[in-house]
């Protein structure tokens, strides 16, 4: 759908249109040339802020490396910076408030288990003692093999644990890693006690409390009475009693609680921390040797940039989050005379979301516009005449009437077509006339004081469909599964005013494979995205931002589209960049193998078919 031109277009208007300043977190901007640039968060060049690295330059680099679209681009510096920011923010507030304990973050591996990400987090986190949270044996092995046991990085084991898992955790302690087994189910306790005796290793034990504080946002079922996670108050007391009877109460040192992911409202966080402190204080009173309070995840990412308490945003800054956590723990525990514990958080999405961008090109466009077709001549119909006559009374005062009439006549034509009373050409003419009327209505809308209710979804029905070279199910599963909105926009030509409005469709043949909710600065979301008309023989590139959390692992093989190409880059201070790693995406052979085909056998069978066709003289 064509956009009506407004006042002069410039880069500032481009930034406002796509809200990049709101959601970009300082990492992304638009250059005077109209290209999205990645800013080096640590750039200290003497000329002030460097211009940043153009995504178009990176796309060219990818092409030179034979890494075609779609591609996932990871930016190392952003992970590094996110870890520093989190740790520095806690550090600064701890110092300012005079908190007696320290902060030790851990990264929950489930948020992005890719080896390269885990390795980078271990490397960049080492200086802060930033460790990992794991929820399964494979995650545990990934963390153990990555962590440097000479470092002070912690390992928190959540999830269902059998003997093998617990043995791994005990061995980790023996190897020098501060590895906590967090009891999530009572059945784990006897195994921990027995295995620690058999192996002669004293465990580090945590308990996960079932939180009753309710939070807003999509993941609020993680807390509350019916939450499937954690132990109730009476179960925690059972754990304490059993440990005391086994002479192991001194091993219980950590309280774990997780209110939910992506908590948009800071007041909910405060309420949750308060409840956690009550558990912590009473565990101390019960005689446990408590030293650590682990508040789980929940630090939200402002995907929409709205800075609000809607589920895809957050109404607080990182500093406010850290301050509220530290201040609440401090004031609550001070009132009981309990010394300040080490604070652990398991921030997942806030650590990695910004570091990945999905890049793709547009393959094709469908426009809902009248086209030139040969008229039916003799096969004309009075319904077509009626439709044409609408143009005689198409004016602002009668827009609603024209809209209704156009729908009525078009639907009548469709009925007659179904009954075989008119031909395909007449129907095509009617559909064409219908689109012409809608276009006429659209031109009149700006002149109207009040737009009739029925015309409110008008934009959507005329929007173009831009077919993007990606699979939503593989690369943006949350967009499909939970209506997660990610910032999406063209990565170049932003010095040109976008002249079309579009929804995006992927290349799966699934009607759910589309994006039709976009970030808007003036309302909850926009149903269409401003884009540019495609140019003959020139690619049009788009990016989906903030996709570093959960998307890679949750993606699936719908229509057998496999993993995209992945490239990891590092921005150099003062300008320039280098490719750190490239991973070619799945081949057709790979994805067929995933679903139990034997590619060599398929080739053989196909070859036999060809040989038979040659023998029968059907092909040469
Ligand atoms: N810790 C636990 C136990 C979780 O279940 C989750 C995710 O739900 C997280 C941490 C990460 O949460 P977030 O990505 O909001 O930081």
pLDDT tens digits for range 466-478: 999 999 999 999 9
pLDDT by residue (tens digit) across 162-186?
999 999 999 999 999 999 999 999 9
d(CA 274, CA 332): 7
> Does the pLDDT of residue 240 top 90, yes or no?
yes
pLDDT by residue (tens digit) across 363-393?
999 999 888 888 766 556 899 999 999 999 9
User: What percent of the chain stands above pLDDT 70?
Assistant: 95
Could you tell me the CA-to-CA distances from 250 to 245, 247, 253, 340 in Å, in that order? 12, 8, 7, 17
Tokens 């280098």 belong to: 578
For the chain, what is the mean pLDDT?
93
Testing ligand 1's pocket by substitution, the residue of 258, 293, 314 carrying the most ligand atoms inside 8 A of its CB is: 258
What's the 328 CA to ligand 1 centre distance in angstroms?
20
> Does the pLDDT of residue 319 top 60, yes or no?
yes
- For ligand 1, whether the C-beta of 256 sits within 6 Å is no
Taking the CA of residue 111 as reference, the ligand 1 atom at the shortest distance is 14
What's the 110 CA to ligand 1 centre distance in angstroms?
8
Testing ligand 1's pocket by substitution, the residue of 161, 260, 297 carrying the most ligand atoms inside 8 A of its CB is: 297
pLDDT by residue (tens digit) across 578-603?
999 999 999 999 999 999 999 999 99
Taking the CA of residue 296 as reference, the ligand 1 atom at the shortest distance is 1
Exposure string over 470-492, b if 16+ CB within 10 A, otherwise e: bbbbbbbbbbbeeebbbbbbbbb
Arithmetic mean of pLDDT, 275-282 = 97
pLDDT by residue (tens digit) across 323-362?
999 999 999 999 999 999 999 999 999 999 999 999 999 9
Between strands 28-30 and 36-38, the pairing is antiparallel
What's the 108 CA to ligand 1 centre distance in angstroms?
6
Taking the CA of residue 351 as reference, the ligand 1 atom at the shortest distance is 16
What's the 500 CA to ligand 1 centre distance in angstroms?
39
What is the pTM for the complete model shown? 0.93
- For ligand 1, whether the C-beta of 41 sits within 6 Å is no
**pLDDT greater at residue 223 or residue 139:** 139
Which tokens belong to 387? 């439709």
> Does the pLDDT of residue 44 top 60, yes or no?
no
Coil vs helix vs strand at 378: helix
> Does the pLDDT of residue 4 top 70, yes or no?
no
Please report which helix (H) or strand (E) contains residue 284, including its range.
helix 266-285
- For ligand 1, whether the C-beta of 220 sits within 6 Å is no
Please report which confidence band the pLDDT of residue 43 belongs to, taking 50, 70 and 90 as the band edges.
Answer: confident
Closest residue CA from atom 6 of ligand 1: 297
Burial class (CB in 10 A: 0-12, 13-18, 19+), 335: exposed
Given this model, what pLDDT does residue 226 score? Answer: 60
Given this model, what pLDDT does residue 433 score? Answer: 93
- For ligand 1, whether the C-beta of 108 sits within 6 Å is yes
d(CA 223, CA 229): 8
Residue 561: CB partners within 8 Å, gap ≥ 6?
A: 471, 473, 474, 507, 508, 591
Taking the CA of residue 263 as reference, the ligand 1 atom at the shortest distance is 15
Given this model, what pLDDT does residue 574 score? Answer: 82
> Does the pLDDT of residue 223 top 70, yes or no?
no
d(CA 163, CA 168): 9
pLDDT by residue (tens digit) across 421-446?
999 999 999 999 999 999 999 888 88
> Does the pLDDT of residue 220 top 70, yes or no?
no
> Does the pLDDT of residue 415 top 90, yes or no?
yes
* Neighbouring C-beta atoms of residue 256, cutoff 10 Å: 27
Could you tell me the CA-to-CA distances from 521 to 432, 487, 518, 526, 532 in Å, in that order? 34, 12, 10, 9, 20
> Does the pLDDT of residue 213 top 70, yes or no?
yes
What's the 346 CA to ligand 1 centre distance in angstroms?
6
Are 72 and 566 spatial neighbours (Cβ–Cβ below 8 Å)? yes
Dihedral angle at the C-alpha atoms of 145, 148, 150, 156, nearest 10 degrees? -70
Closest residue CA from atom 7 of ligand 1: 261
Are 113 and 142 spatial neighbours (Cβ–Cβ below 8 Å)? yes
Taking the CA of residue 347 as reference, the ligand 1 atom at the shortest distance is 16
Strand order of the β-sheet with 252-256 is 106-108, 131-134, 154-157, 178-183, 204-208, 252-256, 292-294, 342-344
Please report which confidence band the pLDDT of residue 47 belongs to, taking 50, 70 and 90 as the band edges.
Answer: low
d(CA 36, CA 39): 10
Given this model, what pLDDT does residue 221 score? Answer: 66
Taking the CA of residue 219 as reference, the ligand 1 atom at the shortest distance is 8
> Does the pLDDT of residue 5 top 90, yes or no?
no
Which is nearest to 184 in space by CA: 242, 248, 135? 135
Worst-scoring range by mean pLDDT, 70-74, 139-143, 217-221, 561-565?
Answer: 217-221
Given this model, what pLDDT does residue 499 score? Answer: 95
Given this model, what pLDDT does residue 373 score? Answer: 82
d(CA 552, CA 554): 6
Testing ligand 1's pocket by substitution, the residue of 111, 349, 482 carrying the most ligand atoms inside 8 A of its CB is: 111
d(CA 59, CA 69): 9
What's the 55 CA to ligand 1 centre distance in angstroms?
30
Please report which helix (H) or strand (E) contains residue 389, including its range.
helix 382-389
Which tokens belong to 440? 């006429």
Burial class (CB in 10 A: 0-12, 13-18, 19+), 513: buried
d(CA 398, CA 555): 49
> Does the pLDDT of residue 147 top 80, yes or no?
yes
d(CA 7, CA 64): 39
pLDDT by residue (tens digit) across 351-360?
999 999 999 9
Sequence length of the chain is 620
- For ligand 1, whether the C-beta of 230 sits within 6 Å is no
Testing ligand 1's pocket by substitution, the residue of 83, 106, 108 carrying the most ligand atoms inside 8 A of its CB is: 108
- For ligand 1, whether the C-beta of 105 sits within 6 Å is no
Arithmetic mean of pLDDT, 486-496 = 98
Given this model, what pLDDT does residue 377 score? Answer: 64
3-state helix, strand, coil in the chain (%, to 5): 45, 15, 40
Testing ligand 1's pocket by substitution, the residue of 134, 184, 296 carrying the most ligand atoms inside 8 A of its CB is: 296
What's the 576 CA to ligand 1 centre distance in angstroms?
35
Exposure string over 79-115, b if 16+ CB within 10 A, otherwise e: bbbbbbbbbbbbeebbeebebebebbbbbbbbbbbbe
Given this model, what pLDDT does residue 25 score? Answer: 95
């Amino acid at each position: 759908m064509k956009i009506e031109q407004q006042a002069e277009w410039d880069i500032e208007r481009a930034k406002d249109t796509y809200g990049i300043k709101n959601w970009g977190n300082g990492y992304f901007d638009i250059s005077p040339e109209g290209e999205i640039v990645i800013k080096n968060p640590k750039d200290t060049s003497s000329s002030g802020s460097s211009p940043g690295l153009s995504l178009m330059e990176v796309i060219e680099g990818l092409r030179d490396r034979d890494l075609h679209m779609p591609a996932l681009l990871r930016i190392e510096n952003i992970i590094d910076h996110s870890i520093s920011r989190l740790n520095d923010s806690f550090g600064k507030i701890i110092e300012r408030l005079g908190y007696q304990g320290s902060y030790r973050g851990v990264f929950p591996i489930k948020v992005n288990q890719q080896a390269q990400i885990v390795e980078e987090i271990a490397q960049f986190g080492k200086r802060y003692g930033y460790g990992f949270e794991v929820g399964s044996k494979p995650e545990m092995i990934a963390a153990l093999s990555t962590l440097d046991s000479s470092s002070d990085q912690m390992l928190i084991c959540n999830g269902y644990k059998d003997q093998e898992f617990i043995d791994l955790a005990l061995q980790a302690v023996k190897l020098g890693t501060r590895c906590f087994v967090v009891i999530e189910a009572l059945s784990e306790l006897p195994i921990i006690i027995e295995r620690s005796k058999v192996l002669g290793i004293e465990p580090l034990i945590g308990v996960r409390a079932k939180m009753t504080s309710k939070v807003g946002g999509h993941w609020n079922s993680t807390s509350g009475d019916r939450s499937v996670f954690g132990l109730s108050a009476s179960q925690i007391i059972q754990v304490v009693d059993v440990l005391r009877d086994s002479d192991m109460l001194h091993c219980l040192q950590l309280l774990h609680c997780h209110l939910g992911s992506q908590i948009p409202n800071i007041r909910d966080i405060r309420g949750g921390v308060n409840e956690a402190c009550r558990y912590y204080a009473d565990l101390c009173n019960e005689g446990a040797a408590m030293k650590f309070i682990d508040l789980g995840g929940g630090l939200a990412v402002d995907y929409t940039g709205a800075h609000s308490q809607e589920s895809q945003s957050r109404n607080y800054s990182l500093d406010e989050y850290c301050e509220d956590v530290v201040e609440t723990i401090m004031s609550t525990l001070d009132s009981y005379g309990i010394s300040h514990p080490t604070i652990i958080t398991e921030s997942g999405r806030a650590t990695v979301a910004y570091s990945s961008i999905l890049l793709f090109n547009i393959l094709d466009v469908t426009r809902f516009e009248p086209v030139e077709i040969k008229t039916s001549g003799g096969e004309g119909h009075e319904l077509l005449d009626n439709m044409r006559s609408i143009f005689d009374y198409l004016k602002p005062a009668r827009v609603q009437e024209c809209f209704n009439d156009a729908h009525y006549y078009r639907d009548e034509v469709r009925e007659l077509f179904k009954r075989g009373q008119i031909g395909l050409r007449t129907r095509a003419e009617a559909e064409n006339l219908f689109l012409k009327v809608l276009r006429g209505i659209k031109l009149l809308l700006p002149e109207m004081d009040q737009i009739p209710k029925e015309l409110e979804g008008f934009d959507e029905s005329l929007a173009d469909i831009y077919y993007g070279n990606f699979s939503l199910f593989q690369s943006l599963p949350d967009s499909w599964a939970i209506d997660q909105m990610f910032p999406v926009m063209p990565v170049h030509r932003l010095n040109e005013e976008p002249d079309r409005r579009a929804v995006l469709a992927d290349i799966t043949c699934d009607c759910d494979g589309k994006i039709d909710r976009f970030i808007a600065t003036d309302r909850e979301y926009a149903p269409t995205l401003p884009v540019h008309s495609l140019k003959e023989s020139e690619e049009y590139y788009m990016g989906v931002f903030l996709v570093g959390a959960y998307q890679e692992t949750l993606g699936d093989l719908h229509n057998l589209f496999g993993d995209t190409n992945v490239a990891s880059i590092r921005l150099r201070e003062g300008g320039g960049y280098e490719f750190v790693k490239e991973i070619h995406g799945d081949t057709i052979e790979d994805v067929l193998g995933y679903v139990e085909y034997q590619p060599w056998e398929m080739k053989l069978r196909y070859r036999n078919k060809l040989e038979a066709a040659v023998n029968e003289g059907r092909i040469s």
